[in-house]
Amino acid sequence: MSERPRYTPADIEPKWQHHWRTQQPFRAVRRAGHPTLCALDMFPYPSGAGLHVGHPEGYTATDIVCRHARMKGFDVLHPMGWDSFGLPAEQHAINTGTHPSVTTRNNIDNFRRQLQALGFSYDWSRELATTDERYVRWTQWIFLKLFHRGLAFQAETPVNWCPALGTVLANEEVIDGRSERGSHPVVRMPLRQWTLKITAYADRLLDDLVGLDWPETREKQTHWIGRSEGAECDFAVVGHDAKIRVFTTRPDTMFGATYMVLAPEHPLVAQITTPAQKAAVDAYVLEVARKSDMERTALGKKKSGVPTGAFATNPATGQPIPVWVADFVLGHYGTGAIMSVPGHDERDFEFARVFGLPIVQVVSKDGALADAGTWKEAFVDDGVAVRSGFLDGKQTEAAKAAMIDWVEAQGLGTRKVQYKLRDWVFSRQRYWGEPIPVYFPVDLGAGVDDPRKGAHTIRYDQPIAVEESELPVRLPDLADFKPGDDPSGPLARALDWRFFQKDGRWFARETNTMPQWAGSCWYYLRFLDPHNDARIFDDAAYDDWMPVDLYVGGSEHAVLHLLYARFWHKVLFDCGVVKHKEPFQKLVHQGLILGEVEYTAYKDSHDAWVSPDDVEEDADHELRKKGTDLGVVVVKLRADQTQKKGGKFVLIDAPDVVVDARAHKMSKARGNVVNPDDIIERYGADALRVFEMFMGPLEAVKPWATDGVVGVRRFLDRAWNVCVAAEGEGPLDDESLRLLHKTVQKVGADIEGLRFNTAISAMMILVNRLAEIEKVPVSAARTLALLLSPFAPHLGEELWERLGGEASLAHEPWPTFEPSLVVDDVVEIPIQVNGKLRAKARLRRDASEADARAAVAGAAEAQPFLAGKTEKKFLFVPGKIINVVVG
Partner RNA sequence: GCGAAGGUGGCGGAAUGGCAGACGCACUAGCUUGAGGUGCUAGCGGGGCGACCCGUGGGGGUUCAAGUCCCCCCCUUCGCACCA
Binders of RNA among 299-338, rule CB under 7 A?
A: 299, 303, 327-331, 333-336, 338
- Our CB check for RNA shows the closer of 79 and 256 to be 256
**Nearest alpha carbon to residue 654 among 614, 609, 612, 598:** 609
**In angstroms, what CA-CA distances link 518 with 93, 139, 560, 622, 684?**
21, 7, 11, 41, 37
Q: Can you tell me which of 223, 474, 775, 811 binds RNA, judged by CB under 7 A?
A: 223
Q: Which of residues 341-360 bind RNA (CB under 7 A)?
A: 345, 347
Q: Which of residues 496-525 bind RNA (CB under 7 A)?
A: none
- Our CB check for RNA shows the closer of 299 and 608 to be 299
Q: Report in angstroms how near the CB of residue 699 gets to RNA at its nearest.
A: 8
Q: Which of residues 868-887 bind RNA (CB under 7 A)?
A: 873, 875, 877, 880-881, 883, 885
- Our CB check for RNA shows the closer of 696 and 730 to be 696
Helix (H) or strand (E) holding 691: helix 685-694
Q: Report in angstroms how near the CB of residue 815 gets to RNA at its nearest.
A: 20
Which runs of consecutive H residues, i.e. helices, occur in 546-617? 560-574
Q: Which of residues 397-426 bind RNA (CB under 7 A)?
A: 418, 420
Q: Report in angstroms how near the CB of residue 98 gets to RNA at its nearest.
A: 32
Q: What angle in degrees, to the nearest 10, is found between the helix axes of 793-802 and 778-788? A: 160
Q: Which of residues 572-631 bind RNA (CB under 7 A)?
A: 597
Q: Can you tell me which of 26, 431, 507, 694 binds RNA, judged by CB under 7 A?
A: 694
Q: Can you tell me which of 30, 181, 220, 580 binds RNA, judged by CB under 7 A?
A: 220
- Our CB check for RNA shows the closer of 401 and 881 to be 881
**In angstroms, what CA-CA distances link 705 with 72, 658, 709?**
34, 23, 8
Q: Which of residues 715-774 bind RNA (CB under 7 A)?
A: 715, 717-718, 755, 757-758, 760-761, 764-765, 768, 772
- Our CB check for RNA shows the closer of 263 and 475 to be 263
Sheet containing strand 36-41, strands side by side: 75-77, 36-41, 548-553, 584-589
Task: Please list the helix, strand and coil fractions of the chain in percent, rounded to the nearest 5, in that order.
Answer: 35, 25, 40
Q: How far apart are the first and last CA of the chain?
A: 61
Q: Report in angstroms how near the CB of residue 214 gets to RNA at its nearest.
A: 12
Q: What angle in degrees, to the nearest 10, is found between the helix axes of 756-771 and 685-694? A: 120
Q: Can you tell me which of 25, 158, 226, 476 binds RNA, judged by CB under 7 A?
A: 226
Q: Report in angstroms how near the CB of residue 701 gets to RNA at its nearest.
A: 6
Q: Which of residues 540-569 bind RNA (CB under 7 A)?
A: 555
Q: CA angle, corner 493, sides to 488 and 494, nearest 5?
A: 120
Q: Which of residues 672-691 bind RNA (CB under 7 A)?
A: 682-683
Residue 659 sits in the site that holds RNA (CB under 7 A): no
- Our CB check for RNA shows the closer of 2 and 95 to be 2
What are the residues whose beta carbons fall under 8 Å from the beta carbon of 469, sequence distance 6 or more? Answer: none
Q: Can you tell me which of 712, 723, 803, 841 binds RNA, judged by CB under 7 A?
A: 712
Rounded Cα distance, 725 and 775, in Å: 8
Q: Report in angstroms how near the CB of residue 475 gets to RNA at its nearest.
A: 31
Q: Report in angstroms how near the CB of residue 777 gets to RNA at its nearest.
A: 20
**Nearest alpha carbon to residue 78 among 20, 131, 13:** 20
Q: Are 809 and 796 in contact (CB under 8 A)?
A: yes
Rounded Cα distance, 701 and 54, in Å: 11
> How is residue 503 annotated by DSSP?
T
Rounded Cα distance, 655 and 352, in Å: 52
Q: Are 264 and 325 in contact (CB under 8 A)?
A: yes
Residue 72 sits in the site that holds RNA (CB under 7 A): no
Residue type, 513: T
Q: Report in angstroms how near the CB of residue 89 gets to RNA at its nearest.
A: 25
- Our CB check for RNA shows the closer of 184 and 755 to be 755
Q: Can you tell me which of 78, 702, 741, 782 binds RNA, judged by CB under 7 A?
A: 702
- Our CB check for RNA shows the closer of 388 and 513 to be 388
- Three-class DSSP category at 383: coil
Residue 574: HSE in the Cβ half-sphere, 13 Å Cα cutoff: 15
Q: Report in angstroms how near the CB of residue 187 gets to RNA at its nearest.
A: 17
- Our CB check for RNA shows the closer of 47 and 171 to be 171
Q: Which of residues 423-482 bind RNA (CB under 7 A)?
A: none
Q: Can you tell me which of 701, 725, 773, 854 binds RNA, judged by CB under 7 A?
A: 701
- Three-class DSSP category at 103: helix
Q: Report in angstroms how near the CB of residue 874 gets to RNA at its nearest.
A: 10
Q: Which of residues 767-796 bind RNA (CB under 7 A)?
A: 768, 772
Rounded Cα distance, 881 and 878, in Å: 7
- Our CB check for RNA shows the closer of 156 and 219 to be 219
**816 — phi, psi (to 5°)?**
-110, 160
- Our CB check for RNA shows the closer of 107 and 757 to be 757
Please give the size of the binding site for RNA, defined by CB under 7 A.
84
- Our CB check for RNA shows the closer of 441 and 711 to be 711
Binding map of RNA across residues 266-305, x = CB under 7 A, - = no contact: ------------------------------xx-x---x--
β-bridge pairing 584-589 and 548-553: parallel
Binding map of RNA across residues 803-842, x = CB under 7 A, - = no contact: -------------------------xxx-x-xxxx--x--
Which runs of consecutive H residues, i.e. helices, occur in 547-684? 560-574, 676-683
Q: Report in angstroms how near the CB of residue 756 gets to RNA at its nearest.
A: 10
- Our CB check for RNA shows the closer of 333 and 375 to be 333
- Our CB check for RNA shows the closer of 155 and 881 to be 881
Q: Report in angstroms how near the CB of residue 61 gets to RNA at its nearest.
A: 14
- CA 86 vs. chain centroid, Å, equals 19
> How is residue 513 annotated by DSSP?
B
- Our CB check for RNA shows the closer of 199 and 834 to be 834
β-bridge pairing 593-604 and 632-637: antiparallel
Q: Which of residues 174-193 bind RNA (CB under 7 A)?
A: 175
Q: Report in angstroms how near the CB of residue 516 gets to RNA at its nearest.
A: 17
Q: Report in angstroms how near the CB of residue 324 gets to RNA at its nearest.
A: 12
Q: Report in angstroms how near the CB of residue 331 gets to RNA at its nearest.
A: 7
> How is residue 560 annotated by DSSP?
H
Rounded Cα distance, 115 and 127, in Å: 12
Q: What angle in degrees, to the nearest 10, is found between the helix axes of 685-694 and 55-71? A: 100
472: preceding bond cis by omega (within 30 degrees): yes
Q: Report in angstroms how near the CB of residue 703 gets to RNA at its nearest.
A: 5
Residue 230 sits in the site that holds RNA (CB under 7 A): yes
Q: Are 844 and 851 in contact (CB under 8 A)?
A: yes
- CA 570 vs. chain centroid, Å, equals 20
Q: Can you tell me which of 73, 211, 813, 864 binds RNA, judged by CB under 7 A?
A: 864
Q: Can you tell me which of 68, 70, 92, 250 binds RNA, judged by CB under 7 A?
A: 250
- Our CB check for RNA shows the closer of 84 and 721 to be 721
**107 — phi, psi (to 5°)?**
-65, -40
Rounded Cα distance, 605 and 619, in Å: 19
Q: Report in angstroms how near the CB of residue 734 gets to RNA at its nearest.
A: 18
Return the sign of the alpha-carbon dihedral for residues 409, 411, 412, 416: positive
**207 — phi, psi (to 5°)?**
-65, -40
Rounded Cα distance, 485 and 166, in Å: 6
Q: Report in angstroms how near the CB of residue 642 gets to RNA at its nearest.
A: 8
